[in-house]
Amino acid sequence: QKEVEQDPGPLSVPEGAIVSLNCTYSNSAFQYFMWYRQYSRKGPELLMYTYSSGNKEDGRFTAQVDKSSKYISLFIRDSQPSDSATYLCASDSGGGADGLTFGKGTHLIIQP
Amino acid sequence: NAGVTQTPKFRVLKTGQSMTLLCAQDMNHEYMYWYRQDPGMGLRLIHYSVGEGTTAKGEVPDGYNVSRLKKKQNFLLGLESAAPSQTSVYFCASGQTASTDTQYFGPGTRLTVL
């Protein structure tokens, strides 16, 4: 079983809607949680980074981590067609430099 | 400041051929990583390096070798005898700290092995 689970979608919503993207993880040692955005045929780009539980807001994006339920969320307000991309969640324990554990990614489509 | 760059962008190989993928970063990061991304599998770590002259295996290291050059900004991924199972998109990433709080990715190399 992969340590980070993510629904691949596609998730299609109308422009202006609030988008909720979610991941679950199984490794209790994970402390660092990230969301990456990946446009088609491009490399992933870091969108949000959170340490431990709590919320973090950056413009239209809010990242939320609930360590008690091992649940990671990304909310996008006032979604735009330019938000159409694949969103990857990633986690790490921080105990070393042995890379991040990624979910498979959710393909998001914002309909104009 | 170019960030993380990868060479080449595309490559087609025949089974059994060899090649080297080059990753370069200009952020003076200590940590560098090679991932592969396959449909339905997500990103999987191949090898990584925590500094000049050091390398370590990741989740899927078989069939690959790596070297971190003395000019530590360069990290090479080698395929000695390519197989169709190595058809994938390869991403290099770099990070500044051991806690892996952030990693920055290159644009990827799309490799097809026939």
Q: Where are the domains of chain A?
A: 4-111
> Does B30 fall in a domain?
yes
How far does A46 lie from chain B, in Å, by closest CA? 7
Q: Which residues of chain A have pLDDT under 70?
A: 1-2, 94-98
User: Exposed e or buried b for every residue in A48-76, given b needs 16+ CB within 10 A?
Assistant: bbbeeeeeeeeeebbbbbeeeebebbbbb
CA distance A31 to A13: 31
What pLDDT score does A99 carry? 76
DSSP label at A71? Answer: E
Which residues does chain B have within 8 Å of residue A107's beta carbon, measured at their own beta carbons? none
Residue among A16, A33, A41, A29 at smallest CA distance from A88:
A33
Q: Which two tokens stand for residue B68?
A: 């971190």
> Does B4 fall in a domain?
no
> At A96, which amino acid appears?
G
> Does B83 fall in a domain?
no
Tens-digit pLDDT profile for residues A43-64: 999 999 888 888 999 999 999 9
**Contacts of A93 by beta carbon, 8 Å cutoff, 6+ apart:** A27, A29, A30, A31, A32
Tens-digit pLDDT profile for residues A23-33: 999 988 888 89
What total of structural domains would you count in chain B?
1
Tens-digit pLDDT profile for residues B3-53: 999 999 999 999 999 999 999 999 888 889 999 999 888 899 999 998 888
Asked if A2's CB is within 8 angstroms of B103's CB, the reply is no
> Does B38 fall in a domain?
yes
CATH number for A4-111: choose from 3.40.50.920, 3.30.590.10, 2.60.40.10, 3.10.20.340.
2.60.40.10
Q: Which two tokens stand for residue A58?
A: 């950056």
- Write the residue in B30, B58, B107 that is nearest to A99 by C-beta: B58
Instruction: Tell whether the model's pLDDT for residue B95 goes beyond 90.
Output: no
Q: Could you tell me the residue range of the domain that residue B27 belongs to?
A: 19-48+61-71
